[in-house]
Structure 1
């Protein structure tokens, strides 16, 4: 008779197989479903810098003034649940030292509202749910998950078009490593016209002129956390001007700055949220599956070894019988 194996080999086998299956589920099922753009967002980011803007009271461009850009994002959870996409309402206001204390977007230097709809997995635009405007590209308020070292098409709302941002190396923001993407926009018409006095654009003989709005951005720099696609720091150098219809040169500078960048508070918030979400994705997609696979493999192997050895090891009675048979044959 062979000795029946104990309970331990079966326990090790059961736990090992469970760990292997659990690791597979984390890697193939749980982590991909966690890697989705959130829908219940409510965030505010602020960029500040020094530059120039057109003072409507003085009817002249003033220089060396602080420019503040505030962007608020609120997710439309109900629309997201109906459509399965990320639906974000975005409010962007530009303030000068005169309008900033008013704390009213309607009285800011410039205020725009947008509604962005994106695929929660790919971050690509989805044209539904009251999207406004209809945009293109693969990066805007965030980049896709698992950012690659390649060129992305970043949607510039002022331009009304996608701008290629090329990978320009890695850098750190408050100790968190990110990918740096850079690009620029040469002066282009935005398609917007503004009715202004003719003298403002070099046509004093005309009382009112439909001036053309032109836009340029000498330096776009975004630092993106690799796993989450969150933008940890943003730096831009916008310039918005007016030209007389058909003119080749700027007549009025509406807004210009060599550097507008995330404030320290916004940078800290973005880095903290990026680090938190990145750790979560790393645990679900890398650490936990790896531990489960390795641990499960070792436990399964140990259980099999004990099971085989237990079935092969003779009992004490079997051993004594073999000894008796040996002595008899002698």
Structure 2
């Protein structure tokens, strides 16, 4: 009995200290190592809405047509493991009702391929591994982990520059809360020039004219999950035009829409992935340390109490001997 009574307090004390330390280790050491941009990503996001685009076959801009932007991101796992960074290959295609059924990016209205390299912890750009283009800013494709209520610089691949997006409140996407970041892009030249018929530029006397491409966005709005930095919903209002050399006004609209937004399927997929990642980070970074502190502290306290009480209680054998000596003296 004596030996059993002394083992229990020590066991509770040891278990309590273990649970307490283990919970803190999960929060301070394991969770930061899990909080990394994934390498084996393979996702597709689709934005769609009504708008206008230039029909090359008709040499005119057509209005009120459905525009679809499809972006696929595939991680280059081998390059990522060699460099220690997140290396993603990105394919973006813009389709019209004519080109979308073809399911061939080469026959779409526009198709671009890029290679993005970012630091897996900070999400900042890393210039290596065949990066193309060389970009800047805090965010692109996703935001950093632990998003704050501040202004972030979002890389706009059409403009070829970073755009400030300000925190503008909170929102709920399919029951999942997120931060909203919004901004606009005033009309600016993109640095791209195109050879087009002079008649399109209001210069019918010239056969070909070197036209300058301009870009604007009346409203970028991104709903971002706080822990993961994933984008749960996106809305944009792009406008791409051509201007004659030195002109102050647009001559041709290549692409324009007041609102292109994630499809319902894309929102569901983004929120589902976000929920899984967010719960995992919450469990490691918040729930486990708190539960570890509470449970470990309770177990350790119980062990200490039993240990102190055991030391204060006189031993059974010692009491019997004292009684026997008293009888002998009498």
Taking structure 1 as the reference length, what is the TM-score of the superposition? Answer: 0.96
Please report how far the alpha carbon of residue 10 of structure 1 lies from its aligned counterpart in structure 2 after TM superposition: 1.5
- Structure 1, residues 241-278: CA drift from partner, whole Å, max 9, x if none? 00001100000000000000000000000011111110
Q: Does 1:199 align with 2:193?
A: no
Match of 1:314 in 2: 314
Please report how far the alpha carbon of residue 318 of structure 1 lies from its aligned counterpart in structure 2 after TM superposition: 3.5
Please report how far the alpha carbon of residue 34 of structure 1 lies from its aligned counterpart in structure 2 after TM superposition: 0.3
Q: Secondary structure of 1:6's partner?
A: helix
Match of 1:53 in 2: 53
Equivalent residues in 2 for 1:1-330, closer than 5 Å: 5-320=5-320
Ranges in structure 1 where 5+ consecutive residues have no aligned partner: none
Please report how far the alpha carbon of residue 326 of structure 1 lies from its aligned counterpart in structure 2 after TM superposition: 8.4
Aligned length: 329
Please report how far the alpha carbon of residue 321 of structure 1 lies from its aligned counterpart in structure 2 after TM superposition: 5.7
Distance of 1:113 and 1:327 partners within structure 2: 100
- Structure 1, residues 71-112: CA drift from partner, whole Å, max 9, x if none? 000000000000000000000000000000110000000000
Distance of 2:243 and 2:104 partners within structure 1: 29
Ranges in structure 2 where 5+ consecutive residues have no aligned partner: none
Distance of 1:113 and 1:246 partners within structure 2: 30
- Structure 1, residues 44-84: CA drift from partner, whole Å, max 9, x if none? 00000000000001100000000000000000000000000
Please report how far the alpha carbon of residue 182 of structure 1 lies from its aligned counterpart in structure 2 after TM superposition: 0.4
What is the root-mean-square deviation of aligned Cα atoms in Å? Answer: 1.8
- When residues 42 and 4 of structure 1 are mapped into structure 2, their CA distance, relative to the original with a 3 A threshold, is closer
Please report how far the alpha carbon of residue 138 of structure 1 lies from its aligned counterpart in structure 2 after TM superposition: 0.7
* 8 Å contact from structure 1 (residues 116, 131) kept in 2: yes
Taking structure 2 as the reference length, what is the TM-score of the superposition? Answer: 0.96
- Structure 1, residues 209-257: CA drift from partner, whole Å, max 9, x if none? 1100000000000000000000000000000000001100000000000
- Per mean C-alpha deviation after superposition, the further-off stretch among 30-39 and 315-324 is 315-324
